[in-house]
Amino acid sequence: MGTIFDEIQHSVKNWWLSLILGIIYVGVAICLMFAPMDSYIALSIVFSVTILVTGIFEILFSITNRHISSWGWYLAGGIIDVVIGIYLIAFPMISMEVIPFLIAFWLMFRGFSSIGYSMDLKRYGTREWGWYLAFGIFAILCSLLILWHPAIGALYAVYMIAFAFLVIGFFRIMLSFELKNLHKRGNNTQAS
């Protein structure tokens, strides 16, 4: 199975979408940390909108990089995020009941994706691949903690979700700079 890094001779387009996704995740995390006592409904809405918007960006990224052999996986991840986001926006009361589980499984999916990205970066000689691996493992651990204690309460969930969003956000920001470097290398390769 190919990945985004398999065809480095093509420049990676729209690397900045990953940067925007990371900034969105970090921004949401900071908002959640500084307003933990806000209602659980607000958390549900913020999460729902965030998942929808990041899903749209993921779809745009995959469509503009169809020359990459694994663009379909990025498209699938984006579609999953859009469907979950629309569902949660449409049914906020249901989303409040199941949000810890949805968040946990969503984080788990993103964590495993991050681990896959780190292995690709290692294969292409990126020295910082271990950080990406650590972020992926950390996201999976956060998801397992949320699954282990979903009923502890809104405050715990708010801080766990904020922390998990922060981890994923930093991963996406770091990944965007690696994609930018690959973009430059791809342009240099094409110019040669």
The confidence score (pLDDT) of residue 9 equals 45
The domain tally of the chain equals 1
| Cβ pair 14, 70 in contact under 8 A | no
pLDDT above 90 coverage of the chain, percent = 6
Q: Residues 69-116: pLDDT tens digits? A: 677 877 888 899 899 889 888 887 776 777 777 778 878 888 888 888
Residue 11 lies in a domain: no
Query: What is the mean predicted confidence (pLDDT) over 136-153?
Result: 79
Residue 45 lies in a domain: yes
Judged against a pLDDT cut of 80, whether residue 155 lies above it is answered with no
Kindly state the average pLDDT of the residues 149-162. 67
Is 105 domain-assigned? yes
Query: Does the pLDDT value for residue 59 go beyond 60?
Result: yes
**Which residue segment(s) compose the domain that 62 sits in?**
16-186
Q: Is residue 7 part of a domain?
A: no
Q: Is residue 119 part of a domain?
A: yes
3-state secondary structure of 40: helix
Q: Are 117 and 138 in contact (CB under 8 A)?
A: no
